[in-house]
Structure 1
Amino acid sequence: MHVVAEPCSGCKYTDCVVVCPVECFYEGEQMLYIHPEECIDCEACVPECPVEAIFHEDNLPDEWKNYIEINATESEKCEVITEKQDPLVDE
């Protein structure tokens, strides 16, 4: 399973959602989340993230391990996102 981690917080680039074949990204107020049961580990999203915020859970830095649970809980509360939108930060 892949996880969106801390670098996404406050910037929310959406390049990743456009390439996702299973639409497993969900949009929160400050960042995106990956639904753990929908992600098929295709890794298409990983190179698309300009802030390198997407990791396979096995490669997630220790300080961001809590994002596994954050993605699971927050993706349940948010709406799916499938189209590119303006990020929260200036490009």
Structure 2
Amino acid sequence: MTYVVTEACVRCKYTDCVDICPVECFHEGPEFLVINPDICIDCGVCVSECPVSAIYAQDDLPAGQEVFIELNARLAAQWPVIAEAHEPLADAETWAQVSEKRQYLDALQGA
């Protein structure tokens, strides 16, 4: 089992989870983060650090978020590792209130 970053992270990109991760399994794209399932050690410490509750154990994903399993794996192979936290996106607080953001995820276009 691995942990998966889901739709709630889209256009927020809070990085609180990055500092707590003991194995640097997070990768950063332009509009959200993903977890590399090959690096994640399934410790779960990142879950409680996420201010928008975007991280779930793969087996506990909310309905409709299953596409993010493949998306995390694919994008982790393309995006660089992020090892230190930084400020979220400028309008993260606004986007944190939006529940359905998948259509705003550029990485899903054409997928």
TM-score past 0.5 threshold:
yes
Aligned to 2:35: 34
Mapping for residues 7-86 of structure 1, pairs under 5 Å: 7-86=8-87
SS in 1 for 2:77: helix
SS in 1 for 2:72: helix
Q: Percent identity?
A: 51
Deviation at 1:6, TM superposition (A): 0.1
Task: Please list every run of 5 or more consecutive structure 2 residues that lacks an aligned counterpart in the other structure.
Answer: 95-111
Deviation at 1:62, TM superposition (A): 1.9
SS in 2 for 1:42: coil
CA distance in 2, matches of 1:90, 1:49: 13
Query: Runs of at least 4 residues of structure 1 off by over 3 A?
Result: none
CA distance in 2, matches of 1:45, 1:90: 19
- The structure carrying a bigger strand percent of its residues is 1
CA distance in 1, matches of 2:85, 2:73: 22
Aligned length: 91
The alignment's C-alpha RMSD in Å is: 1.1
SS in 2 for 1:3: strand
Task: Please list every run of 5 or more consecutive structure 1 residues that lacks an aligned counterpart in the other structure.
Answer: none
SS in 2 for 1:72: helix
Cα deviations by residue, 1:9-53 (Å, 9 ceiling, x for unpaired):
000000000000000000011000000000001011000000000
Deviation at 1:61, TM superposition (A): 1.0
AA aligned opposite 2:81: V
Larger radius of gyration: 2
